[in-house]
Amino acid sequence: MMNSHFHELRLQVRSKLQQHSTLSDEQLWAIIEGEIILHRDHVKWSATETFQLTHRLFHSFRGLDLLQPLLEDHTITEIMINNYDHIYIERNGIITRLPQQFDSSERLEDVIQMIVSGVNRIVNEMTPIVDARLKDGSRVHVVLPPIALRGPSVTIRKFPQHPLTMQQLLHSGSMTEQVAQLLQQLVLDRKNICISGGTGTGKTTFLNVLSQLIPSQERVITIEDSAELQLRSLSNVVALETRNANTEGKGEITIRQLIKAALRMRPDRIIIGEVRGAEAFDMLQALNTGHAGSLTSAHANSAQDMLSRLETMVLSAVELPIVVVRKQMASALDIIIHLIRLRDGTRKVAQISSVAGIEAGEIVLQPLYQWDKETDTGEDV
């Protein structure tokens, strides 16, 4: 019911806007309130419904429509749009469906174009998949038809207004005091660290936390597909972001290119948001040329799986004997931190392993810490 009234009211407000060249936010707000008052003579709305409808109308002209209040709600960590009329949110680790929906699939696509154009990205039928970000740093992933069979799909991973700290992770039970002390020492000792974990385990959040342990006088270069890191505790930072090709297929800047550029920028440390493919080879080259203390992350089900994935990524870039690849990995990486997410939404540091070298052609991991699921405690190994 509310959606049908929204559609009608939006058309009426739009017709009045066409009569004015420019309007301030206050003037737009006054027009919306006037239309709602006229409409209220025929429809009985509660105070809450009137409030929601007024803000929804305003955001449809000066914001991101239905998304705006969801983005401003700091208790929501993820927004998942399966189609214009199927919207889910995650709050405190629990996923629920919203009763609200976009006016139409076309309206949702309009909002998508507003988002991607803000970061100079392009998404259309020819390039139906794109990663972007919002002004607050939230990560946006878009898939359009014909790839998305039921309509435009949008997934927004929101990040805290203020980056989480080590103390907050301790308070939430993600790690113990002993783990925090170990991590601090590993960063100060300039160990090359790779964070592994599945989707939603908090790899980017953890990169942010570890970055807070880097001495403030060091120069850091960050490299990401879509900028998400918030290194507010550091001042000497250069943030690099990839760029997609334009409509003519030109102008693409890849992570591989950015890694090579970073090596010429006199970094003390390099932070690569996530490695997914052939750039893993360039990352290993960078870590093996004196850039100790660098950080990165990648998807994997365990620390051991992380090594297998890196092997596959490197081999997708160059043809090298597997023994050579493993020697480079063992030389470049010092520590693998594996994160997990439990069914209740909580996240844990499940394992911290040291890359001990190669034995019988296999990379050997030496566990430094292991979380015990049965007792919900961890112990040094």
Are 142 and 286 members of one domain?
no
Q: What average pLDDT does the chain have?
A: 87
Are 271 and 360 members of one domain?
yes
Are 216 and 363 members of one domain?
yes
Are 214 and 230 members of one domain?
yes
What pLDDT score was predicted for residue 42? Answer: 65
Are 18 and 34 members of one domain?
yes
Of 158, 184, 207, which residue constitutes the final position of a domain? 158
What's the CA gap between 381 and 369, in Å, rounded? 5
Q: Which of 93-97, 191-195, 224-228 has the lowest mean pLDDT?
A: 224-228
Are 151 and 222 members of one domain?
no
If one counts the domains in the chain, the total is 3
Are 272 and 322 members of one domain?
yes
Of 137, 158, 179, which residue constitutes the final position of a domain? 158
Peptide bond between residue 146 and the one before it cis (omega within 30 degrees of 0): yes
Of 36, 62, 88, which residue constitutes the final position of a domain? 62
- Please give the average per-residue pLDDT across 70-98, as a whole number: 92
What pLDDT score was predicted for residue 200? Answer: 84
Are 190 and 284 members of one domain?
yes
How far from 1 is each of 86, 117, 281, 290, CA to CA, in Å?
16, 32, 55, 63
Q: Which domain holds residue 96?
A: 66-158
In the predicted model, is pLDDT for residue 177 greater than 80?
yes
| pLDDT tens-digit map of 19-55 | 666 777 777 777 777 777 666 666 667 777 777 777 7
Are 249 and 120 members of one domain?
no
CATH number at residue 205: 3.40.50.300
**Is pTM, for the whole model, over 0.85?**
no
Are 176 and 127 members of one domain?
no
> What is residue 252's three-state secondary structure?
coil
